[in-house]
Structures are given as C-alpha cells and as structure tokens.
C-alpha cells in the first residue's frame, strides 16, 4: 500500500486540473459529481482490493437492499437494520449467494447481524475513526473491483445532535408542529415556539418537555422528531407535556412546513441522491460528503489503508452521509452474534381450527 496515496493524489490533481478545459461540454459523469468521475474512482481500486473481500451485497426478496460487512470468518455479516426484511440473501465477491438469517438487531445504531452458513470468510479490519480526520479521503467498497463511492470526512466523529436532523426529514410532507428543541437537554425540551404554528395554537410554551406523542414515549429530541416525521399535514396528535411540576395533555393539529424554519424547499435536500429513510437518531456519527445511494449503505467505510473506520449507515442530505464509527460498533458485535440482541420474534398467526361446523347438506 506504500504507493497508494501518492497515486491517488496524482490522479486527483490531474483530473481536477482538467476540469476547466472540459467545462464547455462536461460529460454526464462530470455533471453528477466530480468525485464520482470514473477516472477519479479508478484511482481508488487498490484501496478497495482488500475490503471488497469483506463486503457483501445484501438482497431482500430478490432486490438489492444494502451492503454488508463480514465481521467473523464463520459467517456473520453486519448491515443496516432498517433495510432488512423478507427473504434475505448475501452475495459475495466470488458471485456466490447464500441465504441469511437475521440473528441480532441494535435499533439505535440501526445495525443488524446476519448469519450465513459459511466458513473461511474474510472479516473486515477495523481502525479507530479518529484516524479519518477532517479532510481525509474515505471510500465505500462494494463486493466488486471498483469503489461504490468516495468522499471526504467533513465532520469528525461526534454525538449526533438535533441540529443534524434535516428539517424535511425522510418524509418531506410530514406534519409540522413548529418548535425548536434545546440541543443541550437530554429530553425533548422546547426552546422556541414559532408564532402561528400548530404548537403556538395548541398552547405549547418554552421549557415544556414533550414526554409522549399519542402514547408513544419521546425520550429525547431525536425520538420526538422521528415520531413527528411519521405524521401528515392535518393530523391531530395528543402530546403529553411536563410543564414545571405539572403534567398536561395538549392536542395539536399539525400544519404545513413553511418558511418559519428556514425556507428550505423539501426537494432541495435530495439533490444528488435519494435519502435513506432511517437517517436520524444515531448515538454517534462520522460525517462525510459522500454521495451514496441508500441501497449502498450498510457496508464498511474505509480509509486509504483499507481499514474500516465505520459502517456507512445513511445518506442524510444533499451534502452529507453518515457512518457509525468503529468505536461504537465493536463493543456491540459479541451481543449481536450471541442472541442477546435477538430481533423480536415474529408473532405467529393463530391457526385455523380444524373443527368444522355442521353445514346443511343436500338431501
């Protein structure tokens, strides 16, 4: 790997220096994203040569759903939980496709552990995410020879905060309450009520703590936002609110998102790529400017040495994608494999009775 970094830098300098000359008639590749230009991507082939052996394509009901990272030679694969459903298979670099069983789920990090019947797999090699400092290149390998995506670390590993939550959410047409939340609080504490919004009309006040929405507990700001993003304009919600020593029930009819929260058009945040449905609520994130499809999340994010600094978990917005840092992941692996974090059992449908009622027969 000693020549990898100089080669990459040389190709990038050459490609970027040619950009103005080709500006009169840019190719579709150039227009989409200069980092996804085929010449730039080709410079990272040597970086993904190793980690591609540890990356699988996760398919659900015969459709590409996510990527996954091999974390144990005996057949354990880590991926993005919210994309896993139905019949699950894993396709490896050699083209072999094996049926997978879901054995563990960690909701907060959106992680799922899959198990395939295989031995001798190549586990991903981990590195601390601090090795990927701001401005450093990071690469998303796939199970093929080429990278799936490349990018640059834009924000170092940190706790995910309310300000990281896009205003439009995964559902740009969700109902709008009209509050700002206290980013320093561990609860869903209101720091501002926007005039003439649903919150204002319902009587919410600064320092109110929203404990639940329609009976669902909102333990913190991210949980509240996630819950409200599942609503639609015109929905009436019952809020359980702590106001000082008093608990209140406040009914609010959700309105439309408007310029009161910055005037961001719902479609602007989606330029460049579709966004992941589950893209908020993570305990910690490593943020990059990688442009990646939601179906390509769930696999390793590697540095230029091919070491995984995290698991690419979500396409969060027009200029940001998120990875769960390796430091968050490694302590969870044993519990995800052991069954301690087993997914909820699927409720069995009641069996139909074998008893047949007497019916009138033709006589």
Cβ contact 254:291 at 8 Å:
no
Residue with token string 């990527």: 67
- pLDDT at residue 280 in the model: 79
Would you state the pLDDT for residue 223?
Answer: 83
Per-residue pLDDT of the chain (363 residues), as tens digits, is 444 555 555 445 444 444 433 333 444 434 345 666 777 888 899 999 999 999 999 999 999 999 999 999 999 999 999 999 999 999 999 999 999 999 999 998 999 999 999 999 999 999 999 889 999 999 999 999 999 999 999 999 988 765 565 544 555 678 889 888 886 788 999 988 888 899 999 999 999 999 999 999 998 887 888 888 889 999 999 999 999 999 999 999 999 875 444 444 444 444 445 788 888 778 899 999 999 999 999 999 999 999 999 999 999 887 789 999 999 999 999 999 998 999 976 434 444 444 443 333 343
360 CB contacts (<8 Å, ≥6 apart)? Answer: none
Distance of CA 335 to the CA centre of its chain: 21
pLDDT reported for residue 214: 96
CA torsion angle for 104, 110, 115, 119 (degrees, to 10)?
-120
pLDDT of 28: 41
Write down the domain spans for the chain: 4-43, 44-164+267-344, 173-261
- The beta-strand segments (E) located in the chain are 55-60, 63-72, 76-80, 88-91, 97-106, 111-116, 137-141, 147-159, 179-181, 190-193, 209-213, 216-217, 236-243, 246-253, 284-288, 300-302, 308-317, 320-325
Cβ neighbours of 72 (radius 10 Å): 15
pLDDT, position 303: 96
pTM comes to 0.68
Instruction: Write down the CATH number for the domain with range 44-164+267-344.
Output: 2.40.10.120
With CA atoms as reference, report the closest residue to 231 among 174, 167, 172.
174
- Which CATH number is associated with domain 173-261? 2.30.42.10
Establish how many alpha carbons lie within 13 A of residue 181's alpha carbon, considering only the half-sphere containing its beta carbon. 24
From the centroid of its chain, how far is CA 18? 34
Helices (H), the chain: 4-18, 28-32, 38-42, 45-48, 198-202, 221-228, 326-329, 333-338
Q: Which of 3, 248, 295 is nearest to 148 (CA)?
A: 295
Look at the chain and count its residues.
363
Query: Percentages helix, strand, coil for the chain, rounded to the nearest 5?
Result: 20, 30, 45
* Tokens matching residue 53: 């052996």
Instruction: Report phi then psi at 26, rounded to 5.
Output: -70, 145
Specify which residues 100 forms β-bridges with: 88, 116
**Contact indicator for 202, 182 with CB cutoff of 8 Å:** no
SS3 label, residue 96:
coil
For residues 155 and 311, give the distance between their C-alpha atoms in angstroms, rounded to a whole number.
Answer: 15
CA–CA distance, 268 with 26 (Å, rounded to integer):
23
Residues pairing with 192 in the sheet: 180
């Amino acid at each position: 790997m000693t020549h990898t970094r100089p080669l990459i830098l040389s190709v990038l300098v050459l490609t970027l220096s040619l950009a103005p000359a080709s500006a009169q008639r840019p190719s579709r590749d150039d227009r989409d994203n200069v980092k996804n230009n085929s010449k730039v991507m080709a410079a990272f082939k040597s970086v993904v040569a190793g980690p591609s052996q540890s990356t699988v394509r996760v398919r659900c009901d015969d459709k590409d759903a996510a990527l996954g990272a091999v974390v144990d030679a005996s057949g354990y694969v880590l991926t993005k939980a919210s994309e896993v459903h139905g019949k699950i298979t894993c396709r490896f670099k050699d083209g072999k496709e094996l049926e997978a069983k879901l054995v563990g789920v960690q909701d907060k990090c959106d992680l799922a552990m899959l198990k395939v019947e295989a031995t001798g797999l190549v586990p991903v090699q981990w590195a601390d995410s601090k090795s990927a400092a701001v401005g450093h290149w990071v690469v998303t390998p796939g199970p093929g020879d080429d990278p799936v995506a490349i990018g640059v670390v834009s924000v170092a590993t940190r706790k995910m905060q309310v300000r990281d939550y896009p205003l439009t959410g995964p559902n740009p047409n969700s109902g709008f309450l009209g509050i700002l939340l206290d980013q320093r609080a561990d609860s869903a504490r209101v720091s501002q009520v926007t005039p003439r919004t649903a919150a204002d009309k319902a009587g919410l006040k600064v320092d109110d703590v929203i404990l639940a929405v329609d009976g669902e507990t909102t333990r913190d700001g991210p949980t509240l936002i996630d819950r409200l993003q599942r609503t639609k304009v015109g929905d009436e919600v019952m809020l359980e609110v702590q106001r000082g020593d008093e608990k209140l029930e406040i009914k609010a009819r959700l309105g439309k998102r408007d310029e009161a929260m910055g005037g961001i058009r719902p479609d602007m945040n989606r330029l460049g790529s579709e966004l992941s449905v589950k893209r908020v609520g993570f305990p910690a994130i490593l943020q990059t400017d990688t442009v990646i499809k939601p179906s390509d999340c769930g696999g390793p994010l590697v540095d230029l040495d091919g070491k995984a600094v995290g698991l690419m978990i979500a396409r969060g917005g027009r200029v940001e994608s998120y990875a769960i840092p390796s430091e968050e992941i490694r302590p969870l692996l044993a519990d995800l494999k052991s069954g301690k974090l087993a997914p909820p059992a699927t409720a069995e449908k009641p069996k139909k009775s074998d008893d047949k009622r007497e019916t009138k027969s033709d006589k």
